[in-house]
A = this chain, B = another copy of it.
Amino acid sequence: MKEKIDLLGAGLIGSLLAIYLRKRGLDVSIYEKRKDWRKMDSSGEGRSINMALSFRGWKALEKAGIREKVLPYTQPMYGRRIHDEHGNTFFQPYGKDNQAIYSISRNSFNKLLLDEAEAQGARLHFEHKVEHVQVGNREVRFSLPDGSAKTVRSEVLIGSDGAYSSLRNAFQSQLRFNFKQQYISHGYKELSIPPAPNGDFAMDPNALHIWPRGKFMLIALPNLDKSFTCTLFLPFEGYKVSFENIHDDQDVDQVFKTHFNDAHALMPNLLKDFRRNPTAALINTECYPWTENNALLIGDAAHAMVPFYGQGMNCGFEDCYILDGLVEKYGTFSWDLVFEKFQKGRKPDTDAICQLAMDNFVEMSDNVADPKFLIRKKIEARLHELFPKEWVPLYSMVTFSDMKYSEAYAIGKIQEKVMDQVMRDPLITQNWDRLDYEDILHQVEVAGAV
């Protein structure tokens, strides 16, 4: 008799986790509120359409044995291409020459993972909307499309049901559950740049494009069909350029012509996209504990972050990787132990990446356009070149390694302090490649040793 395990939510994290758990021989069911969107055009729901896979994500896919299947769906981006207000662009590599993050469409990726989960034997139950969860006995009441109710009593229950998790809502009324949900002042809207008239990409296809404008920005990620998916981030209110101040097509045109003129020329569907696509909010959630009584929160359900470090999905996949490692080590007989080890070990890391994601908005929308920031990045790249192990830039630790997020965060804080000092040199623009790099590294080592 196989042990039964139920997952709520068939998104990216739920699907990958189902693959892992099937490989461990468990009887896996996934309950999902949406229709089976694999037969439909688009999953919609105002979620971000493009994801950026990085090292942690790939590592988790590899262990699940599906790295090779995913690769053809991705488009590597080796750096940021910054667009200034005059239409000039320049390129900032993300890491070393061969290091990239990989753009992938959420929709096709989710289809692929879910197909794989199903092929591995996971049972899929669509159109099951959670109405109530009894945490004490893991009894979940679903409503079905015909209006009827269905109750499932789980032996082991995992909530991979995202930022607005039903399981977490049920946890919230448990004794001593700590929870925070925080919306940022910015919202976003998805837009698009179709292929050029010649059928090719309209811009450099191997970069994440950014139009940094201080309090707001536009970004674009390449798709396999040679289009780009764009995301416009604006404050909801309180600024001249904000969602509350855009009332009609003319306002949209005005904002794009003034601030994103080169992009505007490539966006024939701008007005239609802007009208049709919802303005979505951005939430950060943190909570603890993640487990109660053989039930567990994972991925966004446990820690939803804002998208500015491109780590939401990668972090969720790493959750699955780590959880699977614990199942490997402790077996499936003591889920309480596995879940307890998981939350204790993982929580400091997800706190760190949530914070980094929050902080990174300023870097993406403002700093990247600052000449001094570029010098700073060059110095850091040089340090990394000279001392490849001793100085790894924060972005690289997060994106191109599987170092614990909390450790990357702590090292990043020390580097930041040292670099703030280095950048105080008034002649840094002229002197940056003649610095005493050994000494800079030494300062970090001293600070790290304290």
- Hey, which bits of chain A sit against chain B, CB under 8 A? 164, 172-173, 175-183, 236, 281
- A176 CA to B285 CA, complexed, in Å: 12
A182–B178 CB distance below 8 A: yes
Does A176 lie within 8 Å of B183, measured CB to CB? yes
Specify the chain B residue showing the minimal Cβ separation from A183.
B176
A178's nearest neighbour on chain B, judged by CB, is B182
Of the candidates B177, B183, B236, B281, which one forms a contact with A181 in the assembled complex, judged by CB atoms under 8 Å apart? B177
- In the complex, the count of this chain's copies comes to 2
**Selected contact of A180 from candidates B164, B179, B236, B281, CB within 8 Å:** B179
- Which of B173, B178, B180 makes the CB contact (< 8 A) with A183? B178
| Chain B residue contacts of A164, Cβ below 8 A | 173
Residue numbers in B under 8 Å from A175 (CB-CB): 183, 281
Cβ–Cβ contact B176 & A179, under 8 A: no
Residue of B at shortest CB range from A180?
B180
CB distance B172 to A177 under 8 Å?
A: no
Instruction: Name 15 extra pairs, CB < 8 A, besides A176-B236, A178-B181, A178-B183.
Output: A164-B173, A172-B181, A175-B183, A175-B281, A176-B183, A176-B281, A177-B181, A177-B183, A178-B182, A179-B179, A179-B180, A179-B181, A180-B180, A180-B181, A180-B182
Cα A164 to Cα B177 in complex, Å, equals 12
Measured between beta carbons, the chain B residues less than 8 angstroms from A178 are 181-183
The residue of chain B having its C-beta at the shortest distance from the C-beta of A286 within the complex is B180
* A4 CB → nearest B CB, Å: 30
Q: CA A179 – CA B281 in complex, angstroms?
A: 15
Cα A90 to Cα B117 with chains together (Å): 69
Q: Tell me how far the C-beta of A306 lies from the nearest C-beta in chain B, rounded to whole angstroms.
A: 13
A341 to B22, CA, bound (A): 55
| Chain B residues positioned under 8 Å from A177 (CB to CB) | 181, 183
Inter-chain CA distance A164–B164, complex, in Å, is: 19
Complex-state Cα separation, A173 to B285, whole angstroms: 13
A179 contact set on B, CB distance < 8 A: 179-181
Closest to A283 in B: B176
Per the bound structure, the CA–CA distance linking A314 and B251 in Å amounts to 49
Q: Sample 18 A-B pairs with CB under 8 A, ordered by A number.
A: A164-B173, A172-B181, A175-B183, A175-B281, A176-B183, A176-B236, A176-B281, A177-B181, A177-B183, A178-B181, A178-B182, A178-B183, A179-B179, A179-B180, A179-B181, A180-B180, A180-B181, A180-B182
Task: Report the minimal beta-carbon distance from A352 to chain B, rounded to whole angstroms.
Answer: 19
Q: How far is the CA of A175 from the CA of B278 in the complex (A)?
A: 13
Complex Cα distance, B140 from A171, in Å, reads 24
Q: Give CA–CA (A371, B177) in the complex, Å.
A: 37
A161 to chain B, nearest CB (A): 14
CA distance A178 to B183 in the complex (A): 6
Measured between alpha carbons, how far is A373 from B178 in the docked complex, in Å? 32
Q: How far is the CA of A137 from the CA of B12 in the complex (A)?
A: 36
- Which residues of B lie under 8 Å from residue A281 when comparing CB positions? 175-176
Q: Which residue of B lies closest to A173 (CB)?
A: B164
Residues of B with C-beta under 8 A to A176? 183, 236, 281
Q: For residue A179, which residue of chain B has the nearest CB? A: B181
CB nearest to A164 among chain B residues: B173
Give bound CA distance, A172 to B181, whole Å: 9
Alpha-carbon distance A175/B176, docked complex (angstroms): 25
| Least CB separation from A236: chain B residue | B176
Among residues of B, the one whose C-beta sits closest to the C-beta of A181 is B179
**Cα distance A176–B182 when bound, in Å?**
8
Interchain nearest-CB distance for A24 vs B (Å): 32
